Chains A and B, each alone.
Chain A
Amino acid sequence: MSRDPLGLVSADPGPGFSFTFDGEPVPALPGQSIAAALWACGRQSWRRTRRTGRPRGVFCGMGVCFDCLVVVDGRPNVRACLAPAEPGLRVDGQEGTGHAELPR
């Protein structure tokens, strides 16, 4: 029995790349979503809620629940489970509405 998902389907992905998450480099494979790349490196938690500041990550995994929101290149409210990882993206965990640092 194969020990990982890539082995199970005999995947031979194209060359990997990295993006940053909260300033740290995260490796990713072509075609993976931001959430998939974060899961692959063991991260499950990347958002804090608006009211109570509780941690959140992927829940529905298909774009319905909006729990996995991240800030991508300064743009808040991006669903990490849908948005493809791309080389050089700057991804940050979202605090509250993601607009805290924007000028009022």
Chain B
Amino acid sequence: MPNSPADPAGTGLDGLAGPDDLTGLDDLADLAVIGAGPAGTAAVNAAADLGLSCVLLDAGALPGGQFYRQPAPGLRAAEPQALHHHWPVFAGLLRRLERHRAAGRVRYLPGHHVWSVSGSAGQWRVHAVGGPEGDTALTVPARAVLCATGSHERQLPFPGWTLPGVVGAGGAQAMLKSGLVLPGRRVVVAGSGPLLLAVAVSLARAGAEVPLVAEASGYAGYARRPGALAANPGKLAEGAAHAAWLLRHRVRVRTRSAVVAAHGGDRVEAVTVARLDRDWRPVPGTGRTVACDALAVGHGLLPQLELALALGCRVRTLPDGSPALEVDAGQLTSVPGFWAAGESTGVGGAELALLEGELTARSVASALGRAQPGENPGRLRTLLRRRAALRGFAELMAERHRPGAGWADWLSADTEVCRCEEVTAQEVREAVDELGAGDVRTVKLLTRAGMGWCQGRMCGPAVARLAGGDSDPAGTRPLSCPVPMGLLAQGADD
């Protein structure tokens, strides 16, 4: 049944109240949560249930993060669930969040980007910038901090990837979910990872023609780990449902294939799709041209770890080479008082993030002496069992979609690897082969690759691999987002 126009998200509320006022934020909160995606929202709800005072900071204008990114309220979408899986779960989370806000247990600060966390357990200071111009400073003091900062897309360059109309697969999804727009009329979807099928279905349902989905790996490998599949029937059903929908709507899915070049003048007009060998090396003679006016491309997701890395949190490497925060059974990182949940502990999807958020809340409450560690043991057992099963599946996905070393054969000498500083593959290779650069940092110093606006978030995975590595850089950045110089000067004595 369509939701009423006054309740576009179908939450059962009269629309979301605006941001909370900022008075009283100097009081020490029990828990500051960074990120209002699935993990952060689940954590703040569960923590408030346990009686903790919480502050929820989020860069976005609406809760949901990237996965549950909501259409802008002004668009008055009566059926946002058409673009979302498990929307009722999220609507339930929003209802609980609103109740906790109304009761004063949660302060929600949308439009606030956290750029640094200082202090230590029991006396953290969370520094954020907000306001329409991004120049209003805010510091939240808290006993415990949860890092639920999510992920961004891993990109690997190929000739033509900077052409307008070539967009991130997750980016196309985000623009569609929030602004109800498509990147083009005829959109090729390419790259690797389970997100691709979901993106292809969304784009096609929203009216785009999708001539082809090219997955660089295969799906067959999943069958070689029947244990992880049997433990996660829901995950398997989700993927199968996407595949079946695409088949029914005559969208071709080609595995072991990749877009190895995009062509066009001022925008993309066609792509070359080639067969790949097991290492993602293009098989000579297999390239063929597919006309399109947009390409949605991505090679998996990478956790956003800047805030945690700046504090010295320990990191592990997942089978796909992505870095993730090490956490204990209660989601506590190696830094006392600093917890992590969701994609920052390894990309694993929304269902896992929700469980981890709830586990975090229990762990924080018992650390602060506000709850017994083993309270509600039945629920705890369920959470731990489901987390183990979903983590197992996440590791399997990471292994199956690990970028093959042969991707670098897609590059031509003049392919720009660093989009910001316009540094070509040849320049990076000269730094590596002739000047002996063996890591991202040295390549950056020699070529400026990774020194621009995005701080290496787009080119880092490629540069690390061109420099001889086989994993993604766990890049430390002193600030996790751009901060006006004046605010940094103000904070110097903080």
Q: What does the 1/0 interface line of A41-71 toward B look like (CB < 8 Å)?
A: 0001110011110111111111111110000
Contact of A29 among B74, B420, B457 (CB under 8 A): B74
Q: What does the 1/0 interface line of B136-167 toward A look like (CB < 8 Å)?
A: 00000000000000001100000000111111
Inter-subunit contact B78/A11 (CB<8 Å): yes
Question: Is A31 an interface residue when CB atoms closer than 8 A count as contact?
Answer: yes
Question: Is B337 an interface residue when CB atoms closer than 8 A count as contact?
Answer: no
Contact of B73 among A9, A31, A62 (CB under 8 A): A31
Closest to A34 in B: B179
Chain A residues with Cβ below 8 Å from B163 are 55
Question: Is A81 an interface residue when CB atoms closer than 8 A count as contact?
Answer: yes
Contact of B72 among A32, A50, A62 (CB under 8 A): A32
Question: Is B82 an interface residue when CB atoms closer than 8 A count as contact?
Answer: yes
A-B pairs under 8 A by CB, number: 174
Assembly CA distance A55 to B176 (angstroms)? 23
Assembly CA distance A2 to B78 (angstroms)? 14
Question: Is B35 an interface residue when CB atoms closer than 8 A count as contact?
Answer: no
Contact of A44 among B178, B180, B183 (CB under 8 A): B183
Inter-subunit contact A60/B162 (CB<8 Å): no
Closest to A52 in B: B422
Contact of B175 among A1, A29, A31, A81 (CB under 8 A): A81
Contact of B205 among A2, A13, A63 (CB under 8 A): A2
**Contact of A36 with B178 at beta-carbon distance under 8 Å, contacts A4-B207, A45-B266 already known:** yes
Chain B residues with Cβ below 8 Å from A37 are 179, 181
Assembly CA distance A13 to B153 (angstroms)? 30
Chain A interface, number of residues (Cβ within 8 angstroms): 47
Contact of B457 among A10, A36, A49, A65 (CB under 8 A): A65
Assembly CA distance A40 to B185 (angstroms)? 11
Q: What does the 1/0 interface line of B258-285 toward A look like (CB < 8 Å)?
A: 0000000011100000000000000000
Question: Is B114 an interface residue when CB atoms closer than 8 A count as contact?
Answer: no
Assembly CA distance A2 to B79 (angstroms)? 13
Question: Is A100 an interface residue when CB atoms closer than 8 A count as contact?
Answer: no
Chain B residues with Cβ below 8 Å from A101 are none
Inter-subunit contact B72/A66 (CB<8 Å): no
Chain A contact residues: helix, strand, loop or mixed: loop
Nearest-Cβ distance from residue A3 to partner chain B, whole angstroms: 4
**Contact of A33 with B2 at beta-carbon distance under 8 Å, contacts A11-B75, A60-B152, A60-B153 already known:** no
Contact of B181 among A2, A36, A64 (CB under 8 A): A36
Inter-subunit contact A36/B207 (CB<8 Å): no
Assembly CA distance A5 to B175 (angstroms)? 11
Assembly CA distance A10 to B71 (angstroms)? 11
Assembly CA distance A46 to B164 (angstroms)? 8
Assembly CA distance A61 to B169 (angstroms)? 9
Assembly CA distance A35 to B166 (angstroms)? 14
Inter-subunit contact A35/B175 (CB<8 Å): yes
Assembly CA distance A84 to B74 (angstroms)? 11
Nearest-Cβ distance from residue A2 to partner chain B, whole angstroms: 7
Chain A residues with Cβ below 8 Å from B162 are 54, 56, 59, 67
Inter-subunit contact A66/B453 (CB<8 Å): yes
Nearest-Cβ distance from residue A39 to partner chain B, whole angstroms: 4
Assembly CA distance A14 to B77 (angstroms)? 11
Chain A residues with Cβ below 8 Å from B449 are none
Question: Is A30 an interface residue when CB atoms closer than 8 A count as contact?
Answer: yes
Closest to A1 in B: B205
Chain B residues with Cβ below 8 Å from A11 are 71, 75-78, 180
Most B CB contacts (10 A, CB to CB) among A33, A35, A36, A44 go to A44
Nearest-Cβ distance from residue B107 to partner chain A, whole angstroms: 23
Inter-subunit contact A44/B152 (CB<8 Å): no
Question: Is A6 an interface residue when CB atoms closer than 8 A count as contact?
Answer: yes
Interface positions of A (Cβ within 8 A of B): 1-14, 29-33, 35-37, 39-40, 44-46, 49-52, 54-67, 81, 84
Interface positions of B (Cβ within 8 A of A): 2, 5, 59, 66, 71-80, 82-83, 152-153, 162-168, 170-176, 178-184, 205-207, 266-268, 293-294, 419-422, 452-454, 457-458
Known: A58-B164, A61-B175, A64-B454; 7 extra A-B contacts, CB below 8 A, are: A31-B73, A33-B178, A59-B171, A61-B174, A65-B458, A81-B171, A81-B175
A-B CB contact pairs (8 Å), 17 listed: A2-B207, A5-B181, A5-B182, A13-B76, A14-B74, A30-B75, A32-B74, A33-B175, A35-B179, A36-B179, A39-B175, A54-B422, A60-B454, A61-B173, A62-B174, A64-B457, A64-B458
